[in-house]
Chains A and B, each alone.
Chain A
């Protein structure tokens, strides 16, 4: 990655290891405790429509300004399962049992010596997966923020400062995952300090401000686990040092592959991808698109130097043209 694109390595003062999530969707029970625990901790507004979204058991739809953990539900028949197994197996034979770089495949279960004959393919499965902000190594939102509202924390995570953000919305376009969003004004007006009173409506906070998962920065500074990971009943959501999580994730993929579940693969563990890998790593049981995740996310500033060069040439050309015009005009 180029020097203009921000990354955790740019933060020199830290001394803290980079923190992140590992979301193992193979043990997610779709209970949505993460969604609720997140909203409880962050006092996020609820959706006021109260209508079925027409998407299986998912009624919050996607990550957004108010929903920072989102559980997707995907029903699949045998045909899809077989396709997922095949595509996962293809990754293995490419030496890529995650989207990790080829060199890292050792831990992830080489086919040699292990019986990877898939078990009987079930007729049906129901995938559940809890999505969250990726806290990218190269964070698009952070790169484009003009006000300094977004910053890279000492734990390597990316956080919006509500009190700095002016609501310009540049970051919204800058996120390759469509995670960050400005909070709409909602229905409840802002009433100061009336939170936590029985029988009273809590105010909607941070209206107009860009909002997304902070990885519970406010808990992290005190050594506490983010709310979603703490609540997760089955430890589908794990929190910790990113490096350790990635190695846990690779072991888990190896384990599943050894059981013949070749559909398992990692997402976000490849440091050579378009965002330099993500702080939130996922174990998926199918292609990322199936879960609504972009297959090949790219940070917008990745092309910045090339664009600058082109822009420079263009600018020089313009300058030359203008000068020529002046010169031509002067002669008149």
Chain B
């Protein structure tokens, strides 16, 4: 980032949320880089940027799409890069129809299921007869992926011999499709949809394009301001398309940087405490996929290019790590021990299952869903249906105390003595009281050494879950039930110290993997390329292989930064293979030479016949730039010398995604689930493939143009402050942080304050179709009314750190109570960055009257579970083209 010439921070409040990361922006700016902050509010990031561009929450794809259009129509794209490294020249099949043809839908939408059949988005294959089913890679997904089926490799693409037109003139090239798709995303559209002036758009467009190319690079930084939308994954895709067109991927000072909020949120995705993934982005098996062979074929075709083609080696090594000798050829490597998923079983679906009394027990470790999750009331009521709840935390968070001091106790909806839930509060160890590794936002693993022992009953999760596992196994020791075999055969024996704390390094060594047979038996693997699908290797997370190479904990490498170059490869260990920039082959031109001296990073060393540079090459080390291997060999061996995107099935950066995204191959602007604005681009108002949960306890506000939308006329957006941490579990119990931001507040413009009679620093009540909360009022010019579609639109900012409970140093109403649960279909993240509400002066009512207030609004707006639940806004005329369903 410090190498960037222009930094666009959008969907992130970087200076506030990642102050220390912001030092690199400060440094880049001091060197002359331009810093632009695009955000609904003027924040502490805007204060130190060169320019703040206010934007309507939920309209980012219009802005980014307009930048794409600007780049294409003014011929500002990086030709050599785009032609060589992206799929711009690849042809898409004849059946594909764009949103321009179907007024906001792509071909393949199935109204009866509400999901897309991806078949028609496939590339055009060179020889249809070669595999007999040309659209295989799309057709497999007809059963809908919904983000729960595939690992990061997405569904297989098959053999990558696709039609191309390097002149880019064929109307079915990705380039032409892209051009047409964004042709109506104009500066005027940006003005009308985002509330951004033509001058501001021009400033942004010039800054980005003037700072891209051979000599210069632009970097985008985003955070949950992009992901927390019903089209969140597509926000990031839009930026990726723009960056690929400008040649800003895989190069120093380029890229799209995700700024994540938790110490190991990256690690907990890599080694996922997530329902749909196994370690290393391997998918959880789905019901009906009954053999390991079938499972691996579903991940990657061995014929496709890149490293996913070896998914069988990664999977079998994982199964060996978990089940040891019980995972053998005869047992199909223990594949049958894995439980199966058959739909989304995410946290929100689970809470709804709780309400249906289908979940007995719930473990919460280091999270505070009563405050931090959308629709807090649903979360708390869900917990009141549990038989038992285990909360493991440092402090008595609201998720542990809702049964005696939660908002539902105050409103009378719940009575403590009626709640049958057993609650265990088990105190946890802090980060200095245990040893282990965090994976930070740039995929860097850093080891923490234990400084002191945890006090009292406090325990690490490592110790607690190890102990729990031991007891489960002991209690089942005599079982002959087949279902208990996976637990009993589990490799569950780690060395412990005298306090019973397992040795974290032993666990890390298992994650890294080892040779099981042969001369190196027992030795750690040094790279995932050593993994074999024959049971001769084990490894708990293939992408982490190498972190324990040679028996050394490389996550604990600590050569001081001042003694190393800027890449600092001897501090910690980055996956994969200690690479700091992914796809860094793209930092050199197709011939292997740096694009420019100024942006030199990796290059082909003709004499030594290998890739070299400042980083570890993210490419087969000896694959010469001009090499054209026979693609039929498949896997990494099939990568051509200019296929930098080694994890993609065709080795190219995807401008158009023929697979992997379930709501469209190209990002398209849809309005949020709740919006006071009608979609200015298409008849289709919202993302047709979004996941909706129409229920009495999860009502949606009417969208623009429908009855009752004026009852919730304002847009609210939630965010974080520097002084607090997410739901407050690690900040609201600390006096030094609490005093800095003691009370829940809302941020409104002077104009809205005048319109609603809000007093500065007085109280206001904010009402959504789910809840009403109160907050102190910060009237500030940092929030500006926007003119959108010719009318004034007010936005309200709400930090979400506070919660109602009796134990924290500071408490207050929780902004997340206002949110509903509507999810992005790719990743199932909720929409918390844009919702509809009203705001009125004064404190909210107490007790049952609070419920009456919410109900009164619902009645006035006429909201029912059906409100906003039409997947297709006007289903009649748009599905006329039946060509998409030949199967």
Contact = CB atoms under 8 A, between A and B. Distances in A.
Interface of A: 27-33, 35-36, 39-40, 46-47, 49-52, 54, 56-57, 59-60, 75, 77, 122, 124-128, 198-199, 233-235
B461 interface: no
B736 A29 contact: no
B741 interface: yes
Tell which of A28, A30, A54, A235 has the most Cβ of chain B within 10 Å. Answer: A30
Contacts of B740: 32, 35-36, 59-60
Contacts of B781: 75, 77, 124
Given A39-B736, A124-B42, A126-B42, A50 B742 contact: yes
A77 B750 CA distance: 13
A27 B722 contact: no
4 tightest CB-CB pairs across the interface, nearest first?
A46-B735, A50-B742, A126-B47, A233-B19
B455 A52 contact: no
Contacts of A51: 742-743
Interface string B758-781: 001100000000000000101011
Contacts of B742: 49-52, 59
Nearest to B47: A126
B116 to A, nearest CB: 43
B48 interface: yes
A29 B745 contact: no
Given A29-B47, A30-B722, A126-B44, A50 B743 contact: yes
Given A27-B26, A29-B19, A30-B722, A36 B743 contact: no
A39 B734 CA distance: 12
Contacts of A30: 44, 47, 722
A160 B781 CA distance: 42
20 contacts: A29-B16, A29-B44, A32-B722, A32-B740, A35-B736, A40-B736, A46-B736, A49-B742, A50-B738, A50-B739, A51-B742, A54-B760, A126-B44, A126-B47, A128-B44, A198-B456, A198-B458, A233-B20, A234-B48, A235-B23
B809 A234 contact: no
B395 to A, nearest CB: 10
A32 B723 contact: yes
A69 B51 CA distance: 28
Contacts of B456: 198-199
Contacts of B885: none
Contacts of B51: 122
Contacts, number: 99
Contact of A52 (B52, B738, B745): B745
Given A47-B739, A75-B782, A199 B455 contact: yes
B26 A234 contact: yes
A208 B210 CA distance: 61
Given A30-B47, A40-B736, A50-B810, A126 B743 contact: no
Nearest to A52: B743
Contacts of A47: 739
Contact of A198 (B22, B30, B52, B455): B455
Nearest to B18: A233
B368 interface: no
A289 to B, nearest CB: 20
Contacts of A128: 44, 47
B741 A57 contact: yes
B15 interface: yes
Tell which of A47, A50, A199 has the most Cβ of chain B within 10 Å. Answer: A50
Interface string B258-301: 00000000000000000000000000000000000000000000
A54 B761 contact: yes
B379 interface: no
Contacts of B741: 57, 59
B22 A29 contact: yes
B782 A126 contact: yes
Contacts of A122: 51-52
B497 to A, nearest CB: 20
B414 interface: no
Given A31-B19, A32-B723, A198-B456, 6 more contacts: A27-B26, A29-B48, A29-B722, A56-B778, A57-B44, A233-B23
A153 B456 CA distance: 43
Contacts of B737: 36
Nearest to B433: A198
A125 B50 CA distance: 11
A236 B547 CA distance: 36
A270 to B, nearest CB: 26
B446 interface: no
A29 B20 CA distance: 10
A128 B19 CA distance: 14
A52 B761 contact: yes
Given A35-B740, A75-B780, A128-B47, A234 B455 contact: no
Interface in B41-68: 42, 44-48, 51-52
B23 A234 contact: yes
Contacts of B458: 198
A194 to B, nearest CB: 14
Contact of B22 (A50, A54, A127, A233): A233
Nearest to B50: A119
Contacts of B46: 126
B739 A33 contact: no
B199 to A, nearest CB: 10
Contacts of A56: 778, 780
Interface in B427-482: 455-456, 458
B736 A235 contact: no
A122 B37 CA distance: 14
Nearest to B742: A50
Contacts of A39: 736
A291 to B, nearest CB: 15
A28 B44 CA distance: 9
A33 B19 contact: yes
A29 B43 CA distance: 10
A121 to B, nearest CB: 12
Contacts of B42: 124, 126
Interface string B484-499: 0000000000000000
A32 B735 CA distance: 14
B813 to A, nearest CB: 14
